[in-house]
Amino acid sequence: MDINQVWSEYNQDIKRFILSKVKDEQLTNDLLQDTFIKAYSKLDTVKNETKIKSWLFSIARNVSLDYFRKSNKTVPLNTFDIKDESWEETAHSPQDCLPGIIKNLPKKYRDPLFLSEIKGLKQAAVAKRLKRPLPTVKSQIQRARKLIKQGYIDCCDYIENEKGQLVGESKDKDGCKACN
């Protein structure tokens, strides 16, 4: 399948999805374009053509979240729940496990990680906001990252390669401990 076929088949669905999140027609068109540019650059990595639609929705979701993160606009995270009436989930991806893994982190690690990685605050600002010493916050964020990595290992049987990167395939949603 080439990008023109993908565009003609899915652009309206993806556009409705993005518009439901950002509520601005011009911004929607910009994010739709960004979504398909990213899809074009990675289309050759899709192994199963039946999963293209869910793959595109994941890209659109991430592009939209990136916009909100970069613009420092706040939006409830449940706005970006994977399930949407215009899209029936067909694939289970590592991104689906992340909310469950983060939710299971101890609060002392979850809060600094959320403020730093999701809200985009500098670690010094996180320390000030949480009224904790900066070295403590730095170590808590590092520990949270390690716990997330361990969560993927425990949940989906990923393994860590010699470079310290996680490798493996996502399990079906039914077999995933973090999503259930």
Residues 121 and 129 sit within 8 Å (Cβ to Cβ): yes
Specify whether 63 is located in the same domain as 115.
Answer: no
Specify whether 68 is located in the same domain as 103.
Answer: no
Report the pLDDT value the prediction gives residue 87, as an integer from 0 to 100.
Answer: 44
Specify whether 111 is located in the same domain as 148.
Answer: yes
CA atoms within a 13 Å half-sphere pointing along the CA-CB vector of 141:
22
Note whether residue 41 is domain-resident: yes
Which residues neighbour 104 within 8 Å (Cβ) at sequence distance 6 or greater? 151, 178
Domain total in the chain: 2
The boundaries of the domain holding residue 105 are 94-175
Residue 45's CATH number: 1.10.1740.10
Note whether residue 145 is domain-resident: yes
Specify whether 47 is located in the same domain as 119.
Answer: no
Per-residue pLDDT in tens (0 to 9) along the chain, 180 residues = 678 888 888 999 999 988 888 888 899 999 999 898 888 888 877 777 788 888 888 889 888 888 877 776 655 555 555 444 444 444 556 667 777 888 888 999 989 998 888 788 899 999 999 999 999 999 999 999 999 888 888 877 777 778 877 776 666 666 666 665
Specify whether 74 is located in the same domain as 106.
Answer: no
Residue 157's CATH number: 1.10.10.10
Specify whether 170 is located in the same domain as 143.
Answer: yes
Note whether residue 143 is domain-resident: yes
Residues 50 and 91 sit within 8 Å (Cβ to Cβ): no
Note whether residue 70 is domain-resident: yes
At CA 30, angle to CA 27 and CA 31, rounded to 5?
85
Report the pLDDT value the prediction gives residue 159, as an integer from 0 to 100.
Answer: 79
Specify whether 61 is located in the same domain as 107.
Answer: no
Q: Which contacts (CB < 8 Å, 24+ apart) does range 46-52 have?
A: 49/1, 50/90, 51/90, 51/91, 52/1, 52/6, 52/10
167 backbone dihedrals φ, ψ, rounded to 5° = -135, 150
Report the pLDDT value the prediction gives residue 86, as an integer from 0 to 100.
Answer: 44
Note whether residue 86 is domain-resident: no
How far, in Å, CA of 24 to CA of 141, rounded?
A: 34
Specify whether 30 is located in the same domain as 99.
Answer: no
Residue where one domain finishes, among candidates 80, 110, 142? 80
